[in-house]
Amino acid sequence: MQEIKDIAIKLFGTNSPCRCGGEHEVCLNCHVCRATQPDMLWDESKPIAEYLDATVLKADAKETDIKALCEHAYANSCKAVCINSHYLPFAVTITKGKVGLCTVVNFPLGSNTNDAVLAEAEAVLAEELDELDMVQNLSALLSGYWEASYQGILEVRKACDDYDTLLKVIIETCFLSREQLIVSCLIAKKAGTDFVKTSTGMGSGGATTENIKLMRDIVGPKLGVKASGGVRTREDALAMLKAGASRIGTSNAKGIIEG
């Protein structure tokens, strides 16, 4: 079994020691260096709502569903609502800047061309958007073309820079081997993402504490790790946070907050 450092060196060559943590140990020459930035870790003294992305991404979501989601997130000071982009203009009338607005691109299959994903990202970034969750180019990654997957993330990162928008990269762990998961996290970190995220919630599996721990080990303390997919209860959420998550994506924010 290859160590994280060995995979990093294989991908990017030997380099100076990294200063931002993470078991890759060598500097990745990231698009965004985070060595001097604060850690993005769970603080158990804070309300759990501050770590929740209240989410509705189902195909049959209606305006009434989005209204209920946003009103609950607003009342409980959730970190963000994550919704399909069609509803962004409506959601902002409810969240009023108190709750972050997040949408998704290249979702859920991770199989669009990089040019198509960038165009989609640029279109939604023009809305009143705080955070963007993109699915990595999963088709490229699974076929061994990790450079194409990296370039896709990098171009979206640059677009997010123009709007000061936080970027999360969805790794879709259920389809990946351990080595592919390590590669995915390393290239996302190198491309400058703010978070790595476990799942779309539409794949064959969701977040596991084992994958959260591995992802945290890979990226170190300076990146966020988002657990998403199957996190339904307060017990589930706390297990993910204790394993290393610093954000939870859930369609049951109300149940988690109320315990």
Catalytic annotation, pick one of 79, 130, 226, 236: 226
Closest among 102, 119, 117 to 52, alpha carbons compared: 102
CATH architecture of 4-11+39-258: Alpha-Beta Barrel (3.20)
Does this model's pTM top 0.95?
yes
Q: Is 46 a catalytic residue?
A: no
Length of the chain: 259
The backbone torsions φ and ψ at residue 228, rounded to the nearest 5 degrees and listed phi first, read -145, 140
Give the integer Cα–Cα distance in Å for 114 and 60: 27
Q: Could you state, in order of their start, the residue ranges of all structural domains in the chain?
A: 4-11+39-258
Catalytic annotation, pick one of 53, 130, 133, 236: 133
Q: With contact defined as beta carbons under 8 Å apart, do 173 and 210 qualify?
A: no
Closest among 257, 200, 253 to 65, alpha carbons compared: 253
Q: pLDDT tens, position by position, for the chain (259 residues)?
A: 889 999 999 999 988 999 999 999 999 999 999 999 999 999 999 999 999 999 999 999 999 999 999 999 999 999 999 999 999 999 999 999 999 999 999 999 999 999 999 999 999 999 989 999 999 999 999 999 999 999 999 999 999 999 999 999 999 999 999 999 999 999 999 999 999 999 999 999 999 999 999 999 999 999 999 999 999 999 999 999 999 999 999 999 999 999 8
Please, what is the angle between helix 146-163 and helix 178-190, to 10°? 40
Q: Is 222 a catalytic residue?
A: no
Catalytic annotation, pick one of 79, 189, 190, 197: 197
Q: Is 197 a catalytic residue?
A: yes
Closest among 107, 115, 162 to 134, alpha carbons compared: 107
Give the integer Cα–Cα distance in Å for 182 and 3: 9
Q: Which residues contact 172 (CB under 8 A, 6 or more apart)?
A: 110, 135, 136, 138, 198, 199, 200, 203
